Amino acid sequence: MPSTDTISKKAGLPPGSLVHLGRHFTNKVKISVIDYDAEYLSETICKSTEECFPYKETDTVSWINVDGLHDTDTIASIGNHFELHPLLLEEVLNTLQRPKFEEFDDYLFLTLKQLAIDKESDSVASEHISLVLGKGWVISFREHESEIFLALQERLREIKGNIRKKGADYLFYRLIDSVVDNYFFVIDHINEALEDLEEHVLYTPDDHSLKEIQHLKKQLIILRKAVIPLREAIITLDKEPNILIEESTTRYLRDVYEHIIHITESIDVLRDTLSNIMEMYQSGVSNKTNQVMQVLTIIATIFMPLTFITGIYGMNFTHMPELHLKYGYFGVWGIMVIISVIMAFYFRRKRWF
């Protein structure tokens, strides 16, 4: 659930209204284009929105990357030129939109979540990414600039790269793959946190463990919310054959699909582990309570009878024959030692210490 903007902000507006939902990053919208084929590659950072329009018609593969969603006019103008459906643009801007795939007549649309570990809060940060695949072009929309596509850009610049020989559909796949690959980092990070937590809970279950368990549960929910709908989206993309996607790319998409399956299985394992840890925590606490109780009971059971005996001989009756025995005092000590030893044996047998 978002804390900055809530989905109900949009309620009541007509469908297709372009409203940006989400955090507003202060940087300007940045549009960059990489245009390439096997032999040629040009990189441009557009000064105006219109600069990216001609790439729609080129024979080469054009990747138009838009960083920043707060300027709805820019998005609308791109949408207009590339003839994107108003509902599609709405979903590009709505960063609370769940991952989904939609097929349109002339293009395919996929929204998904980029996940990263936010070092400061040690929690999963989710960002909204939308991809549109048209004939010879791909547009990617991101909330702001990030490192997620850097490796891919590097690969594009290499003239020998496999990717340069393939079409826009392969680029589309590689963009999805870049995003999904990052999920493994998040899984690994949470996994490590879980291992630390498990160690901690096993030896010292305390209040902090409880908070950490809750924190990790929330991270897994964020992860699930990103992955589960994406799985459905990729199945749909996979199942319906489409003229925009060549057959050779299909196997790669199935590979992405299997990565997602792997991730969901890992999430399930992490959830199981987390609920095991919770169980251990609870058992740890009740175990500790039991130990505390045993200490209390041992102390009370030994000292209450002894104190009672001292009470007896602390009474001020005139006629108390034992008081005047010569070894009365030492006799009492003897009795008390015997009682203590019996008690100790009893607790030993009960394995209380």
285-314: contacts with a copy of itself (CB under 8 A) = 285-290, 292-297, 299-301, 303-314
Per CB under 8 A, 11 contacts a copy of itself: yes
Report d(CA 293, CA 299) in Å as an integer.
10
CB of 53 to a copy of itself, least distance (A): 25
Per CB under 8 A, 105 contacts a copy of itself: no
Question: Of these, 283, 334, 342, 353, which contacts a copy of itself (CB under 8 A)?
Answer: 283
What does the per-residue mask of binding to a copy of itself show for 121-160, with x meaning CB under 8 A?
A: ------------------------------x---x-----
User: Which residues touch 137 (CB under 8 Å, ≥6 apart)?
Assistant: 55, 56, 58, 61, 62, 63, 64, 82, 168
Q: Identify the burial level of 77 via C-beta atoms within 10 angstroms of its C-beta, where 0-12 means exposed, 13-18 middle and 19 or more buried.
A: middle
Q: Dig out the tokens for 217 from the structure.
A: 């549960």
Query: Which residues ranging from 243 to 282 are in contact with a copy of itself (CB under 8 A)?
Result: 251-252, 255, 258, 261-262, 265-266, 269, 272-273, 276, 278-282
User: Is 96 in contact with 174 (CB distance < 8 Å)?
Assistant: no
Per CB under 8 A, 23 contacts a copy of itself: no
Per CB under 8 A, 344 contacts a copy of itself: no
Considering the complex, state which of residue 53 and residue 104 has its C-beta at the smaller distance from a copy of itself.
104
CB of 185 to a copy of itself, least distance (A): 5
Q: Which stretch binds a copy of itself (CB under 8 A): 45-53, 69-77, 133-141, 182-190?
A: 182-190
Report d(CA 174, CA 155) in Å as an integer.
11
Alpha helix segments (H runs only) across the chain: 72-81, 86-93, 150-157, 168-203, 207-239, 247-312, 328-349
DSSP class per residue in 149-199: THHHHHHHHSTT-GGGGS-HHHHHHHHHHHHHHHHHHHHHHHHHHHHHHHH
Q: Which stretch binds a copy of itself (CB under 8 A): 39-47, 57-65, 112-120, 211-219?
A: 211-219
User: Is 90 in contact with 15 (CB distance < 8 Å)?
Assistant: yes
Per CB under 8 A, 100 contacts a copy of itself: yes
Query: Which residues ranging from 65 to 94 are in contact with a copy of itself (CB under 8 A)?
Result: 85, 87
